[in-house]
Structure 1
Amino acid sequence: MRLDKWLWAARFYKTRSLSAQEIGKGRVHVNEQLAKPAREIRMGNTIHVRRGDLDITVVVRALSHARGPAPVAQQLYEETPESAAARERAAELRRLAPEPATDLQAGRPTKRDRRELERMRRSQ
């Protein structure tokens, strides 16, 4: 089965063309080797997928030519324990990270604030 089709069926990517693009960019490895979209995969292959800042490593457990519901798609692969632990750590760090908007006290300057800044600059 083609790698791009399997990634689409396993719901790693929303469309098959998007999965092919990501494979072409080098964000997907099969058995620790760069892959092409048409690469044939088999059960037992290890697939490493990089999505944003998240690295996911899975072992292929089943093949499916059709995209089904999420619970069925999750049965197509098994995530490695190291990958699951790293994903959970990243989620915890995101949860504990400070909200960027808390640094902004008053938000954007108003028209009045900008006029006061201009007056201060001219007076200097």
Structure 2
Amino acid sequence: MNEALTKMRLDKWLWAARFFKTRSLAAEAVKGGKVHVDGQRVKPSKEIGVGVRLEITKEPYVWTITVTALNPQRRPAKEAVLLYEEDPASHARRQEEVARRRAEKNASGQPLRRPDKRQRRQIHRFKRAVD
């Protein structure tokens, strides 16, 4: 039982820490080179322990974290956050990316909501008049 608390499979930890929705998605990401352990590409079955540095890429975001705890069960998000500690520079990069994407979305000029029935009819009439 002590061995289970000191070492854990990488794909299982990624699932338990809520980086991926399923364990198979976590394994697929590790196989695809989206997760690096201490700067090296590894297999999903890689045993990790406390203190290991992970770099997780889920486009367009990148997390650089240090494993602080192991939990073999998937717990609520509030508890999952306690399993790792994110690098401050990584957190700042992610926040910048979120702000950039939000500003880009607002600047795109897309309507805030879908047209209602009256507006759709007006659009159809306009398109028929142009054709």
Question: Is this a same-fold pair by TM over 0.5?
Answer: yes
**Structure 2 gaps, min length 5:** 1-7, 115-122
Letter in 2 for 1:19: A
Letter in 1 for 2:57: R
* Cα distance in 2 between the residues matched to 1:26 and 1:98: 29
Name which one, 1 or 2, has greater alpha-carbon Rg: 1
Q: Which one of 58, 62, 69 corresponds to residue 65 of structure 2? A: 58
Structure 1 residues 1-124: aligned runs within 5 Å = 1-99=8-106, 102=109, 118=131
**Structure 1 gaps, min length 5:** 119-124
* Cα distance in 2 between the residues matched to 1:10 and 1:103: 35
- The TM-score normalised by the length of structure 1 is 0.82
SS in 2 for 1:97: helix
Residue in 1 aligned with 2:119?
none
- The farther-off stretch of 89-98 and 50-59 is 89-98
Letter in 2 for 1:9: A
SS in 1 for 2:54: strand
Aligned residues: 116
C-alpha displacement of 1:95: 2.0
- The TM-score normalised by the length of structure 2 is 0.77
Percent identical among aligned pairs is 42
